[in-house]
Amino acid sequence: MYARIAAIALGGAFGALGRYGVGLACLRAFGDRFPYGTLAVNAIGCLVIGMLMHAGLVAAARLPTAAHAGLTVGLLGALTTFSTFGYETVRLLEQNQPLMALANVAANLLLGCAAVWVGLSLGRMVA
């Protein structure tokens, strides 16, 4: 029990730092007209959770429960940013940019679901 809590806390710390780093990198590379950082961490998180959930469900003997919780709940929970996605979408609407808001929703949903599919496929290839 304590190992799982420690793994989640450690994963959360790394996930938060990763989110911050990806956000800064995207801001420097692409500017602030579109929330690329949120899109990037959500897509990365979807890809990784697809792989980890396959590993956790099919190859559980290779990934201890505490490590699985640390990676999914901790790392990916802190890395991905659904609440930020919602806020940024509403802000785009408030700024009278409905097409950008729609693009943000579509890009996050399509890229996120595609990344989960790719992650599951990669996980199955490795297992």
Residue 50 — very low, low, confident or very high, per pLDDT cuts 50/70/90?
A: confident
Q: How far apart are CA 113 and CA 110, in angstroms?
A: 5
Residue 72 labeled ligand binder? no
- Express each pLDDT in 111-122 by its tens digit: 999 999 999 999
Q: How far apart are CA 15 and CA 2, in angstroms?
A: 20
Residue 100 clears pLDDT 90, i.e. is over it: yes
- Express each pLDDT in 79-99 by its tens digit: 998 888 999 999 999 999 999
Residue 77 labeled ligand binder? yes
Q: Is 59 helix (H, G, I), strand (E, B) or coil?
A: coil
pLDDT value, residue 9:
97
pTM for this model (two decimals): 0.81
Judge whether 118 and 50 are in contact, CB under 8 Å: yes
